[in-house]
Each structure stands twice: as structure tokens, then as C-alpha cells.
Structure 1
Amino acid sequence: MSTWITSIEGTEAGHHAALLLALFAAFLHAIFGALQKGRVDPWVSRGAIDIWNNILALPIALFVVPWPEGREWLLIAGALPIHFAYKLGMALAYSRGAFTVVYPVVRGMGPVFTVFGAWIVFGEKFTPLQWLGILVLLSGIFGLAIYNLRTIEVARETLVPALAIAAITGGLVALYTTYDAYAIRATPDPFTFLAWFFVIASVDMPGIALWRWWHLQDRPDPVRVMWLGFTGAIVAFGSFGSVMLATRLDKVGEAAVLRETSTVFAAAIGYFILKDTIGPRRIVLMTLIALGAIIVELAGR
């Protein structure tokens, strides 16, 4: 698998594979966000996910993939503080705001910052038509967030700080996307980075989650929490692994933009699972998100 991945880097086949991987990551990331927000405290759910990340990734890191060497260890370890800050931001935002309001803001802030990061770090440039696509996509994402903000009826008193935290967290999304893309490209075997990333970057939240669970007045069933964590870990492997492989195979900025179609999937999850309502205005806004991603993709060819 590693040989095939490296053999199609920078090729037309690699471009098509990156496109599919980024869209698959978008779908899975929306599921991941809903799992963390869900009906369980977001700190506890994130900690349970990271416990399973460690359990599932450690055997692969130790016995399946080549071990990192030299500066590769530093690159993998460098992801820990960035992702820790991101996870704190997501938990803080989810504990204060509705999923369909917070999630679009976090994902909407990421693409523009990532495009600039990819330009600085990797020398990637977007065409004027691609920038138009980004504007169309962002208009849909932020339009969706504003519409949800105006119509949401629960926890309105905490929505403003939730949105501020979500905006900052969106910047952290761009930071970790750019950093991780650099790290996975600098590691000869991409699966070495992925396996050890899930081991090292998952050591932080379990302790916080345990403390949080112990101090909750209404503690969730630990068996249920661990099953949620297992499901979330499987989804995380697919989501993060897919988008990171996409950034190795093709342009980082394009992969980041396509991943933000996760907002469309998140809205669908909010409707079908979390019982949010979706009217014609939301459908139009979600169409703008998809249209923007299509423009970015087609204009880059």
C-alpha cells in the first residue's frame, strides 16, 4: 500500500485518488463531529475516542509500519501541542454551542488559512477562479452558521463565546493541516506518520476526560461511552488518514477546501440524527458549499 501511494504522488492518478480521499474524509469528519457533540459530554467522548486511538494504533505502530528515524520523531511529536489545542477548542465550543452552529464556523475558517499556509510552506497557488470557488464555498458555510444562529432556540446565552472559540479553532484546523501535510511528506512511509501520530497525539485527552467524568453530576454509562469511543476512533482513522494521504498525493490547499464539504454532511446528520430542521434556505446554502468545492476542483485542472 505504501509503495502504491508513493508511486502515484504528483500524477493524474494521484490527483483523482486525492479527490476521493478528501471527500471521504469530509463525510467521516462530519460523523466524527456529531459523535463528539452527541448526547455525551464532549470532553468525555473525546477522551474515550483517544483511548481507543491508542489501543488500536499502538500495535500497528510497533509491529506493522517502519519505525520513525531521527527528525521524524520530532515531526510526529510536534503534532501533539497543535492537536491538543485544537481538541480543547472543539470541546469548549461544543460545550457552549449547538453542533449545526459551531461546526460550520470551525470548518469555514480552515480553508482560507490553509490555502495561505500551503502557499507559504509548499509554494501552492490558486487561480482567480479557484478563489471565486472558495468565496462561494465560504458564503455557504458562514451563511449556514448565521442562519442556524438566528433560528436556534437552545443555549443562546452561550452562543457568542461558542462562536468566538469556534473561529479560533478554525485557525488551529489550518495550522494542523499545514503542519501535518509537511510532516507526512517528510516521512518516507506515510503510514509510519499516521500510526505514530495516533499513538502520540492521543495521550492528552484521556486524563482530562476521566477527571471530567468523575466530577459530572449525571455520569454517562461507561460501557456506552467506551462503545462511542471505539466507533469514534474507527471514524477518526478513516477521516484523518484519508485527508493526510490526500495532502501527500496532491495539493494541500485543494484537499483542505474539499474536506470542508463536511459541513453539508454535518447538516444532513443534524437533520436525520440530531433532529434539526432543514428548510429551503439551508438547502440553498448547502448547494453553495458543494458548488464552491466543484469550482475549486475544476478550476485547478
Structure 2
Amino acid sequence: MEAWIAGIEGTEAARHLAMALALLAAVTHAIFGALQKGWHDPWLSRGAIDFSYAVMALPVALFLVPWPEGRMWLILAGAMAIHLAYKYAQARAYERGDFTVVYPIVRGMGPLVTVAAAGVVFDETYSALQWAGVLLLSGGIFSLSAFNIAGAGIGRRRLVGALGWAALTGILVSAYTTYDAYGIRATPNPFTFLAWFFVADGLIFPLLAAGRYARMLDPPALGPLFRRGIIGGLVAYVSFGSVMMATRLDRVGEAAVLRETSVVFAALIGWLFLGEKVGPWRAALVTVIAGGAVIVEFG
């Protein structure tokens, strides 16, 4: 697999595969978001997910892929720090605001900052038409959040806090996307980075969640929590692994933009499986978001 990936890098086949992987990441990220709905405590749910994917990744890291060499340990430590900050900010945002308000803000920030960062770090360039597509996509996502805010009934003080943490989370999403793209490109075997990343990334947050669980007066049952954690961990493998491979095979900014069409798939999942009403305005905004992604990819 490693030799095949190296053989197609820089080809048209790699570009098409990267596009398919980024869209797969978008679909699975939307599923991941749907799984989080109804989880009464974002700290516990994230801790269960991290614990699950770290335990499942450990045998792969130890026995199936080469061990990291030299500076890869430092790169993994940096990724671990950025992801910890991201998950902390996300949990704080979900504490203060509804999922439908916070999630679009987080996803809307990502493409804008990632495309700009990719230009600096990876010397990627984008045409004026593609930048217009990025603005269209992010603007549609932000508008979707504003539409949801109008019906959320959140107090002003709580809303300001939720939006602030959501914006910070979006910036950290861009930071880890750019940094992890650098990490997976710096590793001869991309699966070494992915396997050891999931091990390292799952070490800290379960400890924070365990401390929170111990302080709860009425903690939830562990069985259902860990069942959802295992499902979330498996989905995270596909979602994160897909977008990281996409950033290795093709441009980082385009992969980030396509991943944020998860908002479109989340709306479809909510309509088809969760009984949510989409309505004409939300449907129009979802169409704008999808159109922005198409312009970036083919502009």
C-alpha cells in the first residue's frame, strides 16, 4: 500500500482519490456529529471516543506499522498538543451552545483559515474564482448557524460565550489540519503517522473525562457510554484517516473545503434519519455550501 501511494502521488489519479477521500471524510464527520447529538456531557463522550480509538490503534501501532523515527516523535507530540487544545475548546463550546449553533461556526472557520495557512506552509495557490468559492461555502455555513441561532432561544451572555469558543475551535481545526498534513507528508509510511497519532491523541482526554465522571453526583451508566465511544472511535478512524490521506495525495486547502461539506450531509442525515425539518431557507443555504465546494474543486 505504501509503495502504491508513493507511486501515484502527484498524478491525476491521486487528485481524484483525494477528492473521494475528502468527501468520505465529510460523510463520516456528519455521522460523527449525529452520534454526538443527545450525549448529555461532551467531556465524557469525547473521553470515551478517545479511549476507544487509542486502545484499538495500539496493536496496529506496535505490530503492523513501522515505528516512528527521529523527529516523528516530536511531530506526534505537537499534534497531540494541538488536538488537546481543539477538543477542550470544542467541549467548552458545546457546554454553552446547541450543537446546531456551534457546529456550523466551527466548520465555517475551517476552510477560510486552512486555505490561507496552506498557502503559507505548502505554497499552495488558489485562483480568485476558488477564493470566491471558499467565501461562498463559509458564508453559507455561517448563515446556517445564524438561522439556527434565531430559533435556539439562547441568552445573550451564553450565546457570546458559545460563539467565542466555537470560533476558537474552528481556528484550531485549521491548525491541526495544516499541522497534521505536514506530519503525514513527513512520514515515509503514512499509516505509521495515523496509527501512532490515534494512540498518542487518546492518552489525555480520557483522564480529564474520568476526573469529571468521578465528581458527578449522578454519573451516567458506563456501558452505553463506551458502546457509543467504540462506534465513535471507528467513525473517527474513517473520517480523520480519509482527510489526512487526502492532504497527502493532493492540496491541503481543497481537502479541507470538501470536508466541510459535512454540514450538507449532516442536514441530509437529520432530514432522512432524525426526522428534522429542513425547510426552504435551510435547503437554500445547504445548496450554497455545496456550490461553494464545487467552485473550489473545479474553479
Amino acid paired to 2:244:
M
Amino acid paired to 2:193:
F
State the shift of 1:208 in Å: 0.9
Indicate whether 1:86 and 2:86 are aligned: yes
* In 1, Cα distance between equivalents of 2:44 and 2:125: 40
State the shift of 1:159 in Å: 2.4
Equivalent residue for 2:69? 69
Cα distance change, pair 49–230 in 1 and its aligned pair in 2 (3 A)? same
Amino acid paired to 1:187:
T
Conserved 8 A contact 1:114-1:175: yes
C-alpha deviations, 1:181-207, integer Å up to 9, x for none?
Answer: 001000000000000000011111101
Question: Superposition pairs for residues 99-114 of structure 1, below 5 Å?
Answer: 99-114=99-114
State the shift of 1:37 in Å: 4.3
Q: Which runs of 5+ in 2 are unaligned?
A: none
Conserved 8 A contact 2:39-2:45: no
Cα distance change, pair 135–280 in 1 and its aligned pair in 2 (3 A)? same
Equivalent residue for 2:253? 253
State the shift of 1:3 in Å: 1.9
* In 1, Cα distance between equivalents of 2:212 and 2:31: 23
* In 2, Cα distance between equivalents of 1:268 and 1:144: 14
Of 40-49 and 185-194, the range deviating more from structure 2: 40-49
Amino acid paired to 2:203:
V
Equivalent residue for 1:233? 233
Amino acid paired to 2:216:
L
Cα distance change, pair 274–158 in 1 and its aligned pair in 2 (3 A)? farther
Conserved 8 A contact 1:37-1:94: no
Conserved 8 A contact 1:9-1:249: yes
State the shift of 1:17 in Å: 0.3
* In 2, Cα distance between equivalents of 1:291 and 1:84: 33
State the shift of 1:217 in Å: 3.2
C-alpha deviations, 1:219-255, integer Å up to 9, x for none?
Answer: 2210000001000000000000000000000000000
Cα distance change, pair 94–271 in 1 and its aligned pair in 2 (3 A)? farther
C-alpha RMSD over aligned residues: 1.5
Equivalent residue for 1:123? 123
* In 2, Cα distance between equivalents of 1:163 and 1:34: 20
* In 1, Cα distance between equivalents of 2:276 and 2:105: 17
State the shift of 1:154 in Å: 5.9
TM-score (ref. length: structure 1): 0.95
* In 2, Cα distance between equivalents of 1:227 and 1:246: 29
Secondary structure at the counterpart of residue 66 of structure 2: coil
C-alpha deviations, 1:15-59, integer Å up to 9, x for none?
Answer: 000000001101111222232343331100000001111110000
Of 188-197 and 209-218, the range deviating more from structure 2: 209-218
Equivalent residue for 2:200? 200
Question: Superposition pairs for residues 35-46 of structure 1, below 5 Å?
Answer: 35-46=35-46
Conserved 8 A contact 1:124-1:251: yes
Q: Which runs of 5+ in 1 are unaligned?
A: none
TM-score (ref. length: structure 2): 0.96
* In 2, Cα distance between equivalents of 1:295 and 1:71: 38
Amino acid paired to 1:129:
L
* In 1, Cα distance between equivalents of 2:7 and 2:29: 27
Conserved 8 A contact 1:30-1:263: yes
* In 2, Cα distance between equivalents of 1:243 and 1:88: 21
* In 1, Cα distance between equivalents of 2:277 and 2:162: 21
Question: Superposition pairs for residues 7-46 of structure 1, below 5 Å?
Answer: 7-46=7-46
* In 2, Cα distance between equivalents of 1:289 and 1:218: 41
Equivalent residue for 1:265? 265
Conserved 8 A contact 2:42-2:91: yes
* In 2, Cα distance between equivalents of 1:150 and 1:200: 40
C-alpha deviations, 1:134-161, integer Å up to 9, x for none?
Answer: 1111121011000000112467762221
Aligned residues: 299
Indicate whether 1:244 and 2:269 are aligned: no
Equivalent residue for 2:280? 280
Amino acid paired to 1:149:
I
Secondary structure at the counterpart of residue 95 of structure 1: helix
Indicate whether 1:295 and 2:295 are aligned: yes
% identical aligned pairs: 59
